[in-house]
Chain A
Amino acid sequence: MLRLVATGPGPDAAIRLEGVSLRRGGRMVLDGLHLAIPATGITAIMGPNGAGKSLSLRVMAGLIEPDSGSVLPSEAVRGRQEIALVFQKPVLLRRSVRANLRHALAVYGVPRRKRRERLGELLDFGRLAAIADAPARALSGGEQQRVAMVRALAACPKLLLLDEPTASLDPQATAAIETLILNTAASGTAVVIVTHDQGQAGRLADHIRFVHKGALTEAAPAAQFLLAQKSPEAQAYLAGKLLL
């Protein structure tokens, strides 16, 4: 078990990956990755396709054990439900939206008598009331993303990991998700969002982490990073020139 409990991630970090390496298909897909996620605000992880962004979220969520290196969660995010992950392609259950959320509340151990009230809050928060009784998998991509995100929030996580939550959404659906993200961060949850969209990073992120070939190449405040990148990889990526 590489998830150390004795040492924390250091001050002001929700979770820290230290020299995390992972081998898949005969090559290093995470290669000594150092990644500290601030305990407050929104952190955007950027980097080209195949850089290891999705894998690093899975490692943070405890779904994958790295081959070497350490995963150091802070005290606050150490419980099983304190970290919630919304996948790049979310999988909703074959039930109504309402039943999906009710299922999540049951999994998260919310007492039966409190579920109805929590369900109402979640539907309101995600503005899902109008589609609450629709079969979840028949919804549009944007609606499904919103359901997946609200389902993750049902756990009241301290750290929310979002993998390209608006990748295939129209501007309106994107705006709806971004509003949800900002509201969530405002309520004190640390949010990590993987995105390829500089505009989105500018609108949402407080911090940027740039990943390339399974390693961190740049970590900076968002305003600074988007104005001028220090690493040649990040410069090339934002200029549309970087290939993995």
Chain B
Amino acid sequence: MQGFGDAFGAAFALIARFDTDLVEIVGLSLRVTLSATLFACLIGFPLGALLAVGRFPLRGALTVLVNALMGLPPVVVGLVVYLMLSRAGPLGTLGLLYTPTAMIVAQTILVTPIIAALTRQIVADLDAEYHETLRSMGAGAGMRMRTLLWDGRFALTTAALAGMGRALAEVGAVMIVGGNIDHVTRVMTTAIALETSRGELALALGLGIVLMILSLALNSLAMGARVGAARMAHA
């Protein structure tokens, strides 16, 4: 067990010299999280817009469901994806368990409801303002959705960043479906959990510091999106 000060010193040293293990873990974290966020946006933006402006049966029920899924416990998502991908599961033949792909799948499931629910709210608010104008112009449903998504682009950027923040900080799901295998599926959060339990505080702290910095960066970007929207008087 190292002393507290020593651990901090060693942590900063790891970051300063771009320690290969640390860089590899951070890199995988970003790859998994960015991919999951991208897929979640591709599903969540249109789904949210559809829930906001579409008129179809079960829309209300679907909206409630998406909102409820926002609070999904990551370990439950991990468990379900594990069962699907495990050898005996329905998708077992794909051999995806304990791969980064499995982690991307789990995080996509986790983040999609967040982005869809935020998108629904953003698009619904905008639609309240645009509805009559677009209708008077004779815009069809597809055109309306595209218009609202584009004009909500700054707020939607914030939604995507919120989803990404959640994915980046999440540990339960990626632990279960990734297995925290060294050099294969070890990401920042799972590594921190493991290294801390092993008493390897330097790497744990180093990763913790990087995670904090990334989280702050996401928040700054979100703020930047808001400022950008205001500056361009698009708000």
Q: Is A28 positioned at the interface, with any CB of B under 8 Å from its CB?
A: no
With A94-B151, A95-B151: A108-B233 Cβ-Cβ less than 8 Å: no
Q: Is B31 positioned at the interface, with any CB of A under 8 Å from its CB?
A: no
The main secondary structure of chain A at its interface with chain B is loop
* Pairwise interchain contact B139-A135, C-beta atoms closer than 8 A: no
* Pairwise interchain contact A107-B234, C-beta atoms closer than 8 A: no
Q: Is B18 positioned at the interface, with any CB of A under 8 Å from its CB?
A: no
* Pairwise interchain contact A137-B234, C-beta atoms closer than 8 A: yes
* Pairwise interchain contact B139-A107, C-beta atoms closer than 8 A: yes
Interface residues in B106-134 (C-beta closer than 8 Å to A): 129-130, 132-134
Q: Is A29 positioned at the interface, with any CB of B under 8 Å from its CB?
A: no
| Chain A residues in 8 Å Cβ range of B234 | 94-95, 135, 137
Q: Is A191 positioned at the interface, with any CB of B under 8 Å from its CB?
A: no
| Chain A residues in 8 Å Cβ range of B134 | 107
Q: Which of B133, B139, B229, B233 contacts A87 (CB 8 A)?
A: B133
* Pairwise interchain contact B233-A135, C-beta atoms closer than 8 A: yes
Q: Which of B129, B135, B136 contacts A84 (CB 8 A)?
A: B136
Closest to A64 in B: B132
Q: Which of A95, A138, A155 contacts B137 (CB 8 A)?
A: A155
* Pairwise interchain contact A91-B135, C-beta atoms closer than 8 A: no
Interface residues in A99-144 (C-beta closer than 8 Å to B): 103-104, 106-108, 135, 137-138
With A95-B234, A135-B232, A135-B233: A107-B143 Cβ-Cβ less than 8 Å: yes
| Chain B residues in 8 Å Cβ range of A84 | 136-137
| 15 residue pairs A–B, Cβ–Cβ below 8 Å | A61-B136, A81-B138, A84-B137, A85-B136, A91-B132, A93-B130, A93-B147, A94-B234, A103-B147, A104-B137, A107-B138, A107-B139, A108-B137, A135-B233, A135-B234
| Chain A residues in 8 Å Cβ range of B133 | 87, 90-91
User: Interface size bucket, A side?
Assistant: 20 to 34
Closest to B135 in A: A63
Closest to A99 in B: B150
A175 → B minimal CB distance (Å): 26
Closest to B150 in A: A95
Q: Which of B129, B136, B139, B233 contacts A63 (CB 8 A)?
A: B136
CB-CB nearest 9 A-B residue pairs: A138-B233, A94-B234, A80-B138, A94-B151, A91-B133, A135-B233, A107-B139, A85-B136, A107-B137
| Chain B residues in 8 Å Cβ range of A94 | 151, 229, 232, 234-235
| Chain B residues in 8 Å Cβ range of A90 | 133
* Pairwise interchain contact B151-A93, C-beta atoms closer than 8 A: yes
A31 → B minimal CB distance (Å): 23
Closest to B143 in A: A107
The main secondary structure of chain B at its interface with chain A is helix
A104 to B136, CA, bound (A): 11
A94-B229, A94-B235, A95-B234 provided; 18 other pairs, C-beta below 8 A?
A63-B132, A63-B135, A84-B136, A85-B136, A87-B132, A87-B133, A90-B133, A91-B130, A91-B132, A91-B133, A94-B151, A95-B151, A103-B147, A104-B137, A107-B138, A135-B233, A135-B234, A138-B232
* Pairwise interchain contact B151-A106, C-beta atoms closer than 8 A: no
Most B C-beta atoms less than 10 A away, residue of A85, A94, A108, A155: A94
* Pairwise interchain contact A106-B143, C-beta atoms closer than 8 A: yes
Interface string of A132-165 (1 = CB under 8 A from B): 0001011000000000000000010000000000
Interface residues in B146-174 (C-beta closer than 8 Å to A): 147, 150-151
| Chain A residues in 8 Å Cβ range of B151 | 93-95
A106 to B137, CA, bound (A): 11
A85 to B137, CA, bound (A): 8
Closest to B132 in A: A63
Closest to B234 in A: A94
| Chain A residues in 8 Å Cβ range of B147 | 93, 103
A155 to B137, CA, bound (A): 8
| Chain B residues in 8 Å Cβ range of A91 | 129-130, 132-133
B217 → A minimal CB distance (Å): 26
A202 to B151, CA, bound (A): 40
A135 to B151, CA, bound (A): 12
| Chain A residues in 8 Å Cβ range of B132 | 63, 87, 91
A120 → B minimal CB distance (Å): 21
Interface string of A64-101 (1 = CB under 8 A from B): 00000000000000001100110100110111000000
